[in-house]
Structure 1
Amino acid sequence: MGDGQIAAIVLIVLLVMLSFMTIKIVPQSEKFVVERLGKLHAVLGPGLNIIMPLIDSVKHRISILERQLPSIEQDAISKDNVLIKASIVVFYRIVSPENTVYRISNIDQAVATTVAGIVRSELGKIDLDEMQSNRAPLNASIKIQLADATDDWGIEVTRAEVLDINLDAKTMDAMLQQLNAERARRAAVAKAEGEKRAMELKAEGELFTAQRVAEAKRIQADADAYATTTVAAAIRENGMEAIQFEIAKRQIEAIGHMASSNGTRTIILPTDLADAFGAAAKMFGRKPS
């Protein structure tokens, strides 16, 4: 092999190496930070990119996928002076790799430390009951403050949430006693309200019955008064004949009751019964048959 062939092979090898150094293919999930002579030059996005060989170099390959920090355990004291331990989860992703690379040395540790301080401050502003019943405002406030604090680091906080609130044994026992006492109180109140309602319903029933009895008595009294008034008017108009008719009617009613009795065998009619009906017939303008 001659010198010319060797030189050609060397040239081809150098061209291939320069091509590899010049062309950079960046995956979709990453960004490359390029330095030129030790200084930040560019950030390469996904796809085919070209840099200057021997002058430019890829110093950092940064994943832009969303990341989850290990669960953060943070002690705090609530507004009502209860010692608690909060469990926090944080998700974030890198949006400006140049800031993440050149402004902070350990991004995960920095975010965890920042979260701890923010959570301790926010938990101290609210009561324990509010933490356990409504965490949405707390989580929203933590996320906003964390986003502001980490804005210069080139990251975007996608989720920051307090997952759990744990208490020490003494506080838990006290809360259980308070919960049991509250349940007993509610049960007593419910029982008292039930008894009160039962008494009210009973009183309403008795009042309704009394009203109906009074109404019936009133109607009967009105009927009796009407009958008395009618008889009195008849007596005023017809005198003794009306009295005899009323007596005869009462006698017939009594005889009817006697006839319907099982023990009745003989019925004796008064002798003046026909005379009474004759007088009644004259009173109404008809003659007895």
Structure 2
Amino acid sequence: MGTALLYVLIVFAALVVLSSFVTIQQGTIGVTTVFGKYNRVLFPGLNFKIPLIEKIFKRISIQNRSVELEFQAITVDQANVYFKAMLLYAVWNQDEETIKNVAFKFMDERSFMQALVRTIEGSIRGFVATKRQAEVLGLRKDITEHVKEQIDKTLEDWGFHLLDLQMNDITFDEVIMKSMAQVVASNNLKAAAENEGQALLITKTKAAEADGNAIKIAAEAERQAAQLRGMGVALFREEVAKGMSMAAKEMQQANLDTSVILFSMWTEAIKHFAENSKGNVIFLDGSSEGMDHTMHQMMGMNKLMDNKK
């Protein structure tokens, strides 16, 4: 009987010793109580606790946690908006007061998650209720900042901190989605038409500029050609005048009448008209008076040229 009692005592002592040590996993913090009252915090590793009296009340994860949210909100113009979001949160820090809040603020994890999700949804619904349907899609960042601003203090009181809130999807009722798609399509068509009009205007403007430049170039070429033709005619006349002057001087030196050379030039001119003219008829004044008149004119031109010299 004594031996059996000894065995019982040994086993009891071994159980007491074993229950005096507890292991806390990495990324976790233990909270202990003594007779149901908070006692202390146990950090990762092997920890000693008072056997039979000190108990592990809760093991709290200090790692980041995530949860997906799906809920509905209504805009100020009565449009239904459907949100899909991802919430990332964690324990605020490892201070004793923070850990106590995490351990004792809520009855269990399910109650905490329900309060967290409803708080986030309520904050977003309140924000969306002040906006119009057309504004919501462009307010992802504003919604996130609003939620953080509204619930950060509340979460801190609970011992948590909101790390990130991502709006993964924002949709509307099917009718609204179709109308929005039509608006986008019509805006795209309008932009395409405006771009096409601008391109056509640029093309026509460039073509008009090219035509104008071509006309300017042609006009300048014609001006230069006319100038060169005028210079050619002037040089021709100058050479003719020089030839006539030289011929007249030679005839004067030979005591010949200069009217003979003028008559010769007149006949050569008639011959040239006949050979090169496109017409079929040349009208000449063949009377002696007409011929005499022409000769006097030619002699007058000759005297005028001699006076200039």
Aligned to 1:86: 83
TM-score, normalisation: structure 1: 0.72
Amino acid at match of 1:102: F
Per the alignment, residue 55 of structure 1 pairs with 53
- The yes-or-no answer on 1:197 pairing with 2:202 is yes
Quote the Cα distance in structure 2 between the aligned partners of 1:127 and 1:161: 21
Tell me which amino acid in the other structure corresponds to 1:25: T
The structure-2 alpha-carbon separation of the partners of 1:232 and 1:141, relative to structure 1 and needing over 3 Å to count, comes to farther
Secondary structure in 1 matching 2:52: coil
User: Following the alignment from structure 1 to structure 2, what is the Cα–Cα distance between the partners of residues 121 and 183?
Assistant: 33
Match of 2:32 among 28, 31, 34: 34
What is the SS of the residue equivalent to 1:195? helix
Query: Structure 1, residues 95-143: CA drift from partner, whole Å, max 9, x if none?
Result: 4442122123311001101101111133345554554346234324423
Q: CA deviation at 1:239?
A: 4.6
1:160 to 143, 162, 165: 165
When residues 213 and 134 of structure 1 are mapped into structure 2, their CA distance, relative to the original with a 3 A threshold, is farther
What is the match of residue 213 of structure 2? 208
Partner of 2:117: 112
Number of residue pairs the alignment of both structures matches:
246
**Secondary structure in structure 2 of the residue aligned to 1:160:** strand
- What one-letter code is carried by the residue in structure 1 that aligns with 2:165? A
| Residues 1:28 and 1:140: Cα distance change in structure 2 (over 3 Å) | same
Larger Rg: 2
SS in 2 for 1:52: coil
Contact 1:33/1:43 (<8 A) preserved: yes
Distance of 1:76 and 1:115 partners within structure 2: 15
Letter of the 1:191 counterpart: E
Q: 1:183 aligns with which of 166, 183, 188?
A: 188
Cα offset, 1:58, TM superposition:
1.0
Whichever residue aligns with residue 35 of structure 1, its letter is T
Equivalent position SS for 2:51:
coil
CA distance in 2, matches of 1:159, 1:66: 11
Equivalent residues in 2 for 1:57-76, closer than 5 Å? 57-76=55-74
**Helix, strand or coil at the partner of 1:28:** coil
Are the aligned partners of 1:100 and 1:107 in contact in 2 as well (CA < 8 Å)? no
Shift in Å, 1:48: 1.0
Rate the CA distance shift 1:63–1:40 in 2: closer, same or farther, 3 A: same
Quick one: which amino acid aligns to residue 103 of structure 1?
A: K
CA distance in 2, matches of 1:81, 1:219: 78
Secondary structure at the residue paired with 1:104? coil
* Greater CA drift, 24-33 or 9-18: 9-18
**Alignment RMSD:** 3.1
Gapped regions of structure 1 (runs ≥ 5): 256-289
Change (3 A) 1:222 1:129: farther
Q: Aligned partners of 1:194, 1:123: CA distance in 2, in Å?
A: 42
User: What pairs with 1:8-27 in structure 2 (closer than 5 Å)?
Assistant: 8-27=6-25
Check whether the contact 1:114–1:149 (CA below 8 A) recurs between aligned residues: no
Please say if residues 72 and 112 of structure 1, whose CA atoms lie closer than 8 Å, have aligned partners that are also in contact: no
Deviations 1:249-268, CA, capped at 9 Å, x for gaps: xx8xx99xxxxxxxxxxxxx
